[in-house]
Structure 1
């Protein structure tokens, strides 16, 4: 059985865990330093909770990091430290018989590709019949494959990779809602271990897309698509606020609806995640600057989301259903939060 550790099992992370559990994987996480909401989400998803991050990394074949953009580098540093504590962070830590798909752990051998349990032969088969790298399972001697699935720029992803030096790093990004909300999100993957993550048992709830070996490609893609999706929501939100102030909300929405742009439900839902989008818009800004473009557009989008995050519309959690009229949305956007 493949074991996957989820770092930061919030709304998205727990949703990914749900898909993997449905496919037959063992999914672990830790709630060390996490909120009561994270505990509720992890328990509702049925994730196995271990005491510390080191405990989770020690048993994992694959680690998925799903944090807010601003926490990605710190999370990578913590995963690397947990790997060292668990004794699995060394890239050359006793790997034997790769051609045979067998991973050496000291003198004992973990016979994965051969599916051999073979105690008499000195082989410790972790899960009989589980294939090695070709079947998408990470070799223990190298430590787990670590996939950063956060919405960060290629530059930030490079910092993440440096923090995870000694582990196999996959650059990843997610496009779509958690599979527990609606199946079908795409997970884009790049790096030498991308096929390992793509080969996880996603139970048909996630569509993995491998972009190649170049770390940074999946992050660049996310910065492009996220700029459109979240930038559009910010534009609609600002248009609604302005229309409300000028008393023309209904005709504005009617005109936007003619072109399929009056997504008021998306505005209300996005507001609960606005505090996360601030960091993502800054990452988009940095990515566009790296492409020789002005960083100003998405620096302004970050300011828009920071303002939205300070309003009453941002109250609540993303997993909470919201059935608000356009008038209610605009009214909540006009009121600032007290806490």
Structure 2
């Protein structure tokens, strides 16, 4: 381990919160941790069941988790990332030694840097997950940047998450995640806009016939996107808004992601949310 990080050989690791991805991250960390814990207060039965299946240890609340943890991993919807960091900061108010805080959320570099001001930039690692919840190797990458990125990467060595260190700067991991999400989520949302516009003008069937000549099965594309994105659409709204902030931060037009966010917002109205 990175001696400067001050981690014991088997650190206590807190996870906020064990949704599908959080449970997978927690399970991946169990082989190197003294315990992987989570804050049970106010969480749903589904969250509790996932934590139980991943063999994570419940503690009463964020304060109890923060008091015990050497490393805290935040994995939550993008809009909640700063609020979660502020909850942890409040819980750490009387603690002189600060844990490493891994913000593994789909947020912009500016949001990560804001979290750095809340918890101390030297304590924060910018994390970004590319791929599904990882229960086997070869499918999911964990991007990391920040002062202790290499320390966190070591915790995931040999796990189903392939950890890649991008360097010491907060924001690098989130920037790369946002750019990747532009092609994986914003570009597919164009099909939603195309189909909705065609429906609005009553020409969807005719459009489908024209696209079929080009080898595009419009109905198939929409069905696949609905299956992949539907239950997650409410989360993708926030991710696309954060991606828009990311590209705008370097002078790139952000309308693509703003439009994608709106299309996923509309999709979310017709699909039950995951948790």
1:316–1:154 CA distance, 2 compared to 1 (3 A): closer
TM-align CA RMSD: 2.7
In the alignment, does 2:83 pair up with 1:83? no
The one of 313, 317, 320 equivalent to 2:274 is 317
2: distance between equivalents of 1:72 and 1:203? Answer: 28
Q: Contact 2:248 / 2:254 at 8 angstroms: preserved in 1?
A: yes
Gaps of 5+ in 1: 91-141, 319-339
Q: Secondary structure at the match of 1:247?
A: helix
Q: Work out the number of aligned pairs and report it.
A: 260
Residues 1:35 and 2:44 are matched in the alignment: yes
State the match for 2:184 in structure 1.
229
Alpha-carbon distance in structure 2 between the residues aligned to 1:205 and 1:222? 19
CA shift, 1:3, in A, is: 1.8
CA drift of 1:294 comes to: 1.9
For residues 292 and 7 of structure 1, what CA distance do their matches in structure 2 show?
33
Greater helix percent: which structure?
2
Q: Distance in 1 between matches of 2:185 and 2:102?
A: 23
Query: Is the 2:136–2:160 contact (alpha carbons within 8 Å) kept by the matching residues of 1?
Result: no
Alignment pair present for 1:186 and 2:132: no
Deviation string 1:106-157 (CA, Å, 9 cap, x unpaired) is xxxxxxxxxxxxxxxxxxxxxxxxxxxxxxxxxxxx3211010111111111
Counterpart for residue 247 of structure 1: 205
Q: 1:263 to 1:17 in 2, by over 3 A?
A: farther
C-alpha separation between the residues in 2 aligned to 1:58 and 1:162? 20
Structure number, greater radius of gyration: 1
For residue 271 of structure 1, the aligned residue among 223, 230, 235 is 230
Cα deviations by residue, 1:266-296 (Å, 9 ceiling, x for unpaired): 5313111111111111111111111112222
In the alignment, what sits opposite 2:216?
Answer: 256
Per the TM alignment, residue 238 of structure 1 is displaced from its structure 2 partner at its CA by: 4.2
Evaluate the alpha carbon distance shift between residue 198 and residue 182 of structure 1 in structure 2; reply closer, same or farther with a 3 A threshold.
closer
Matches within 5 A, 1:88-127: 88=95, 90=96
User: Hey, what's the Cα distance between the residues in 1 that align with 2:209 and 2:62?
Assistant: 50
**Separation (CA, whole Å) in 2 of partners of 1:242 and 1:255:** 21
User: Does the CA contact (< 8 Å) of 2:192 and 2:222 recur in 1?
Assistant: no
Q: Bigger CA drift: 155-164 or 178-187?
A: 178-187
Aligned to 1:289: 248
Q: Distance in 1 between matches of 2:209 and 2:231?
A: 23
Pairing 1:69–2:78 present: yes
Partner-residue secondary structure (3-state), 2:129:
strand
Question: Which secondary structure state, in structure 2, belongs to the residue aligned with residue 179 of structure 1?
Answer: coil
Secondary structure class of the residue paired with 2:126: strand
Q: Give TM-score scaled by structure 1 length.
A: 0.69
1:47 to 37, 47, 56: 56
What corresponds to 2:119 in structure 1?
A: 164
Match of 1:155 in 2: 110
Does 2:69 align with 1:60? yes
> TM-score, structure 2 length as denominator?
0.84
Question: Retained in 2: the 8 A contact 1:189–1:209?
Answer: yes
User: CA distance change for structure 1 residues 295 and 307 in 2, over 3 Å: closer, same or farther?
Assistant: same
